[in-house]
A and B are shown apart, each in its own frame.
Chain A
Amino acid sequence: MTEDNVSKLSPAEEDPIVDRWLASLPELSPSAEFEDAVMARVYAPAPRWVQSVQTATRGVFHRKRLWVWAGGLAASSAASMAVIVTLMISHWVQVETAWSTFLGGFVLEAWRASVTLIGQTVATTMAIQDVWGLNGPVVLFALLAGTAVTVFSGWGLYRLLTSFDTERISFHASR
């Protein structure tokens, strides 16, 4: 019989006796230890929180150079943030003037609200004095530079910590 002829077979041409024989075939079971034996050899992705912890700790602490880079970036990010906050608190009048010069009305109002909020929060705890006496554009430049350093440091830190391959772990020790 050719393949074409077979393709045209109707269900009626099939053999019910053979169907019954085949239907009587039992489904066989492997041994009772089968499931555990398989699982002992399966490597699964670790849960996401485990991956994060592993990446942030094992990856960095096992490599001295990466640790130095990560620490440096984190420190520069923190330092630049501190400079930004300090400048804003200690030179808020100059900053406001500079913003008004460069950006005008709406942004100025937003800026005022932000400064008020940040100023009230930080000033009450830090009591920072206006000791530097820098003019507005210089402060604004310092703020922008500080923001750039913050963003760059944060981005670098993120890339560093996420550059490792996804960890896969075994559910069980090998048996």
Chain B
Amino acid sequence: MRLPDEITTATDQEVVEWARQGHERAYRELVRRYQRPVFSLIYRMVRDRERAEDLAQETFVKVLNALDSYRSEYKFSSWIFKIANNAAIDQLRRKELDTLSLDGAPDAVTAERQEGTSLQLPHGGESPLDELEARELGSQIEQAIAALRPEYRSCIMLRHVQGYAYEEIAEMLDLPLGTVKTYIHRARSELRNLLEQTRE
């Protein structure tokens, strides 16, 4: 079966079906669709660029090699974020990284390693002053998110960055709906406090 030219506009379920038939383009399409959100989620959990990239790669390899077990009645995005989040949580449990450094990973001791693991915040071509302020605010938000407990962090990222409903997050993280709402509420309160303190 040939792939239609409009593969980029097809639903996830359609692309998965083509991938199951062995079409490389369909696999690549799934990677292109989810590499940024998955990497963003994992990066903000583990806060080490190299490690985040490795974990994101592991996530995709695991998902794409197990497409036969994917059940199409569930959202593909929920499945991949669930695996990504689990990978990040496992990593955090192993390493217990708990401080964010925008200059690189907490265990980066050489300049090269710091550069390799540091967060590259994008900028939108504003004036140097605007850019500096935006980067400063971005940096403060990233630091505030990094200060949250990991379970708060994944909930707030999935809710406010990826835009998932509470119910979907509860399903992804295997948590009761009420717990997800509590986590998000507390995370927002803590974020506000942290950012207000920082900006004062």
A residues sitting closer than 8 Å to B (CB atoms) are: 1-4, 6-7, 9, 14-15, 17-19, 21-31, 34-35, 37-39, 41-48, 50, 171
Tell me whether chain B's interface is mostly helix, strand or loop, or mixed.
helix
Please state if B121 and A26 are interface contacts (CB–CB under 8 Å). Answer: yes
Interface centre among B21, B35, B52, B185 (most CB of A within 10 A): B185
Determine whether B113 belongs to the interface, using a CB cutoff of 8 Å to chain A: no
28 contacts between A and B (CB under 8 A): A2-B182, A3-B176, A4-B178, A6-B182, A7-B178, A9-B181, A14-B188, A18-B191, A19-B160, A21-B141, A21-B195, A22-B160, A23-B160, A25-B142, A27-B40, A31-B53, A34-B57, A38-B60, A38-B61, A38-B64, A39-B31, A41-B57, A42-B27, A42-B65, A44-B27, A45-B21, A46-B22, A48-B22
CB-contact partner of B188 in A2, A15, A48, under 8 A: A15
Residues of B within 8 A of A (CB): 19-22, 24, 27-28, 31-32, 35-37, 39-40, 43, 52-53, 56-57, 60-61, 64-65, 68, 119-122, 134, 137-138, 141-142, 145, 156, 160-161, 176-179, 181-182, 185-186, 188, 191-192, 195
Given A22-B160, A38-B64, verify A3-B182 contact (CB < 8 Å).
yes
Cβ contact within 8 Å between B22 and A30: no
Q: Count CB-based A-B contacts (< 8 Å).
A: 119
Cβ-closest chain A residue relative to B19: A44
Q: In the bound complex, what is the Cα–Cα distance between A14 and B160 (angstroms)?
A: 12
Measured in the bound complex, the distance between the Cα atoms of B155 and A6 in whole Å is 15
In the complex, the answer to whether A25 meets B181 with C-beta atoms within 8 Å is no
B residues in contact with A34, CB < 8 Å: 31, 35, 39, 53, 56-57
B119: A residues at CB distance < 8 A:
28
Choose among B35, B61, B122, B177 the residue that contacts A26 (Cβ–Cβ < 8 A).
B122
Q: Which residues of A contact B35 (CB under 8 A)?
A: 29-30, 34-35, 38
Partner of A171, one of B24, B56, B138, B156: B24
Q: What are the residues of chain B within 8 A of A3 when measuring CB–CB?
A: 176, 178-179, 181-182
Chain B residues positioned under 8 Å from A28 (CB to CB)? 36, 39-40, 43, 119-120, 122
| Bound-state Cα–Cα, A39 to B19, Å | 12
Q: Which residues of A contact B36 (CB under 8 A)?
A: 27-30
State how many angstroms separate the Cβ of B30 from the closest Cβ of chain A. 10
Is there an interface contact between B27 and A24, defined as CB atoms closer than 8 Å?
no
